[in-house]
Amino acid sequence: MGQFVYAMNVSLDLRIEQVPGDNGAGEWLRIDEELHRDANARTRDLAMIVHGRVMYEVMEEYWPRAPGDASLPGFMREYGEIWLAKPKVLVSRTRQSADYNTRIIGGDDAIEQLAVLRAETEGTIAVGGAALATQLLRAGLLDELQLTTHPSILGFGRPLFDDYDLPIDLELLDQQTFKSGVTLHRYEIRKEAD
């Protein structure tokens, strides 16, 4: 059985966007070569990526062109290649088609379909998108948080989870500090039976 891992860049106050539409590209982020290479390695090791529609469209807009863009540094072109090759699932009620090794799951039973996908997949399945991660958390299907925390306090903006007001018991699995001051923490989400 696979594991759903919500991997996200966050501020110290657990915001993922300062203003609507920055989609993880805000000036508060400190994504340098060291951090990007770490993300490349983690993405390469994934079994699959599951995106909500908004996150998928952000990725789809930029990364397919990156491998052929000579103006980008090699580590960014490499990420584009990894993203293109990786099997992806787009969770959407509105999209009917997607390219780039992507299949679509939609409808009222999308979370049930993702539960089946998790049961049938070996390895780590990255989850991108706050709305999707919140739904998986509510369903008891989210296994891990991978928070790349940037040394900024935004004070406002979109939180890590949408409209979630229950305690979440976590177990620290690993932590790493980068030269830029960014930290990466991996937490297991402890289930009720633990």
58 pLDDT higher than 80 = yes
Residue 190 buriedness (CB in 10 A; 0-12 / 13-18 / 19+): exposed
194 pLDDT higher than 50 = no
pLDDT at 23: 57
140 pLDDT higher than 80 = yes
Question: In which band, very low, low, confident or very high, does the pLDDT at 17 lie, cut at 50, 70 and 90?
Answer: confident
In CATH terms, is domain 3-189 a member of 3.40.430.10?
A: yes
Q: What is the pTM of this model?
A: 0.92
- Beta-carbon contacts of 30 under 8 Å, excluding residues fewer than 6 positions away, are 150, 151, 180, 181, 182
104-132 confidence digits (pLDDT tens): 999 889 999 999 999 999 999 999 989 99
Tell me the percentage of the chain whose pLDDT exceeds 70.
95
Tell me how many degrees the CA angle 168-173-174 measures, rounded to the nearest 5: 125
Domain ranges of the chain: 3-189
39 pLDDT higher than 60 = yes
